[in-house]
């Protein structure tokens, strides 16, 4: 009997052009703790199935996260949100770690970080990797 390999999960480039280059930081309220202790990172994804794939990938990440959830419906721009809750301690190290991991799936070179009630910052994946090596 011949067996066929079943492919599960996502690989490099599988979500290319499905994940937006911008992410939301602290715009949404956490479910697992207070806003002082937990920050919600939001990824914008073109469709529900890729959003679920991204959430599953992030759950398996080496970055210490508390929870992930996919929005039940698209927002007014047509994006499904992948909400990632992380502990506020070492926030940017965790955010950059997530972006470095996710960049492997989406082939994004430059990210736009949109801080709630704060500035919007652009950063390249190369700069993120450099910074993480120094910490």
CATH number for the domain spanning 44: value is: 3.30.70
Query: Could you tell me if residue 10 is inside a domain?
Result: no
Q: Work out whether strand 80-87 and strand 38-45 pair parallel, antiparallel, or are unpaired.
A: antiparallel
Stretch 71-81: mean pLDDT: 95
**Is 82 within a domain?**
yes
For residue 2, pLDDT over 80 is answered with no
Name the nearest CA neighbour of 99 among 6, 19, 8.
19
Asked if 61 and 79 count as a contact pair (C-beta separation under 8 A), the reply is no
Q: Is 9 part of any domain? A: no
φ, ψ of residue 42 to 5 degrees: the values are -115, 125
Instruction: Please report, rounded to a whole number, the percentage of residues in the chain having pLDDT higher than 70.
Output: 90
Query: Could you tell me the residue range of the domain that residue 116 belongs to?
Result: 19-134
Query: Does residue 81 lie in a domain region?
Result: yes
Closest CA to 55 of 83, 76, 36, 34: 83
Q: How far is CA 74 from CA 7, 40, 42, 130, in A?
A: 28, 18, 13, 34
Phi, psi of 62 (to 5 degrees): -75, -15
- Percent of the chain whose pLDDT exceeds 90: 64
Residue 8 lies in a domain: no
Could you give the angle at the alpha carbon of 62 between the alpha carbons of 32 and 127, nearest 5°? 105
In a domain, 4, yes or no: no
Q: Average of pLDDT values for 8-20?
A: 74
Is residue 5 one of the residues assigned to a domain?
Answer: no
Whether 129 shows a pLDDT value over 70: the answer reads yes
Each residue of 89-117: pLDDT tens digit?
999 999 999 999 999 888 899 999 999 99
Beta carbons of 51 and 81 less than 8 angstroms apart: yes
How many other β-carbons are positioned within 10 Å of the β-carbon of residue 130?
10
Structural domain count, the chain: 1
- Whether 112 is in a domain gets the answer yes
């Amino acid at each position: 009997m011949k067996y066929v390999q079943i492919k599960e999960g996502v690989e490099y480039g599988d979500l290319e052009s499905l994940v937006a280059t911008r992410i939301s930081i602290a715009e949404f309220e956490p479910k697992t703790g207070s806003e002082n202790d937990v920050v919600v990172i939001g990824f914008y994804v073109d469709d529900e199935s890729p959003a679920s794939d991204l959430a599953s990938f992030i759950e398996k990440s080496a970055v210490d996260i508390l929870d992930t959830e996919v929005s039940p419906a698209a927002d007014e721009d047509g994006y499904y949100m992948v909400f990632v809750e992380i502990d506020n301690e070492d926030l940017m190290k965790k955010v950059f770690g997530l972006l470095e991991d996710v960049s492997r799936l989406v082939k994004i070179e430059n990210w736009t970080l949109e801080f709630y009630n704060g500035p919007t910052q652009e950063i390249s994946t190369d700069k993120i990797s450099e910074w993480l090596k120094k910490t």
